[in-house]
Amino acid sequence: MKRCWAEIDLAALERNLGCIRAALPAHIHYVTVVKADAYGHGLQQTATRLMQSGAELYAVANVEEARQIREMGAGWPILILGALLPEEIPSLADYDLIATVSSPAEVEAIHTLGQQRNRRQPIHLKIDTGMGRLGIWWENAGPLIRLIQSMPYLNLAGVFTHFSSADTDPQYTREQRDRFVGVLRNLPDLDLTNLLIHADNSAGIETFEEDLPFNAVRVGLLQFGILPYPDSLLARVRIEPVFSFHARVGLVKTVPPGASISYGRTFQTDKATTLAILTAGYGDGIPVSLSNRGSVLIQGHHCPILGRVTMDQTIVDVSALNEVKVGEQATLIGNQNNSSITTSEFAEQAGTIPYEILTSITKRVTRIYKTSREL
């Protein structure tokens, strides 16, 4: 045991991927989203396992993340979701990557690269159906698709869009789907058979409909065992947590009533209180916003966080426990006995979203991988 560590259960990741695929029609392709170091789970350690578990295409944010995957294996298809800077364009050919394009300027720059290298450069066209981030605005998509079709050194391999509110607003998501499908329907000479057509992220899968032209999903959070929202239909899919986060008790002591706890004196004891000082703080990824909020599990009990979370240490109230020993395990996210704190609960207490929690666990935290496969 370390001072502070995260456990990543690769067998659970594999089972989750299997469950998600089983919940979708068999012809649906699986794009595994592994941006930001696979949502903090470690790209190196998860990427191979995801491919072995049935993922077909990696999606990453940028060229650097794509390069890390390419070094692990030639041939695996990699889609870059983010916009490319002009100087990054040659990497598409160097590392055999698929670019996301949103504008005529990007299309032309990538076509020029294809011409220079004498190869058909694969691209996915992104259509903005109401996210207001990347993508060509849906009402302007037709001419851009025709431009792409006229360019011999480009290979239009996919068309996609992204939902802004799939977790909160099914009606708006429906509207986004309809806009996207409308664009494709208005281009009768567009051959859909060899195109990857995708929209759904984890939350989108909730409203996935088989009769629409979609033939792929792009899944990030859900494969890591986190439901997009608590009453998710996906709860019926047996998704398991992949990630847990732990520290240890470094010191136990009892202070009298009226003692001030931590920087800024935001907490004063009103009775004799037994404190456990944990060996992790915001320098490990415990948000300062959990100061005087939330709890950690020790011996399966919820022990409240007292005072401000500090860089290397966090103070919790263990007065309710009989005896706590130095070195005992404290679980910030995960299960202990029959109690649990999920990543979503931890995020909610901290006033943020699970995505931010996972990508904010710092380098100091050792990742321990459970790799055993169920035979």
Ligand X SMILES: *Cc1c(COP(=O)(O)O)cnc(C)c1O
Which residues partner with 68 through β-bridges?
none
Q: What is the rounded distance in angstroms from the CA atom of residue 188 to the CA atom of residue 195?
A: 14
What is the rounded distance in angstroms from the CA atom of residue 133 to the CA atom of residue 359? Answer: 21
Q: Is residue 124 near ligand X by the rule CB under 6 A? A: no
Instruction: Please report whether residue 29 would count as binding ligand X according to CB under 6 A.
Output: no
Distances (CA, A) of 344 to 6, 49, 225, 340: 16, 24, 10, 11
Contact 148, 123 (CB under 8 A): yes
Out of 19, 33, 113, 195, name the contact with ligand X by CB under 6 A.
33
Q: Which is nearer to ligand X, 76 or 229 (CB)?
A: 229
Q: Which region among 18-26, 217-225, 244-252, 322-330 touches ligand X (by CB under 6 A)?
A: 217-225
CB of 124 to ligand X, least distance (A): 10
Shortest Å distance, C-beta 304 to ligand X: 30
126 is catalytic: no
Mask 338-367, x = binds ligand X (CB under 6 A)? ------------------------------
Binding to ligand X by residue 38, rule CB under 6 A?
A: no
Contacts of 133 (CB under 8 A, 6+ apart): 162
Residue nearest ligand X, CB atom distance:
220
Under the criterion CB under 6 A, does residue 273 sit at the interface with ligand X? no
Active site residue 263: yes
CB of 198 to ligand X, least distance (A): 8
Residue 241 binds ligand X, judged by CB under 6 A: no
Answer yes or no whether residue 81 interacts with ligand X by CB under 6 A.
Answer: yes
CB-nearer residue toward ligand X: 97 or 221: 221
Residue for token digits 């470094």? 250
| Distances in whole angstroms, Cα of residue 12 to Cα of each of 41, 78, 300, 310, 343 | 13, 23, 22, 32, 15
Q: What is the 3-state secondary structure (H, E, C) of 186-250?
A: CCCCCCCCCCEEEEECCCHHHHCCCCCCCCEEEECHHHHCCCCCCCCHHHHCCCCCCEEEEEEEE
- The three-state secondary structure class of 109 is helix
Stretch that binds ligand X, among 112-120, 182-190, 199-207, 246-254 (CB under 6 A): 199-207
**CA 119, 120, 126: angle at the middle one, nearest 5?**
140
Q: Which is nearer to ligand X, 35 or 248 (CB)?
A: 35
Stretch that binds ligand X, among 113-121, 151-159, 220-228, 238-246 (CB under 6 A): 220-228
Contact 304, 293 (CB under 8 A): no
Q: Where are the alpha helices (DSSP H) in 221-373?
A: 343-349, 354-358
The active-site residue out of 35, 58, 282, 369 is 35
The answer to whether residues 157 and 123 touch, using CB atoms and an 8 Å cutoff, is yes
Residue 34 CB, nearest approach to ligand X (Å): 10
| Pick 47 or 222: Cβ nearer ligand X | 222
Locate 7 and state its tokens: 């456990």
Number of residues forming the site for ligand X (CB under 6 A) = 12
Residues 296-335 that bind ligand X (CB under 6 A): none
Under the binding rule (CB under 6 A), the answer on residue 202 touching ligand X is yes
- Return the number of the residue (49 or 124) whose C-beta is nearest ligand X: 124
Site for ligand X in 158-197 (CB under 6 A): 162
> In angstroms, what is the minimal distance from the CB of 167 to ligand X?
8
The identity of residue 366, as a single letter, is T
Active-site residue numbers? 35, 263
Q: Which positions touch ligand X (CB under 6 A)?
A: 33, 35, 81, 162, 201-203, 218-222
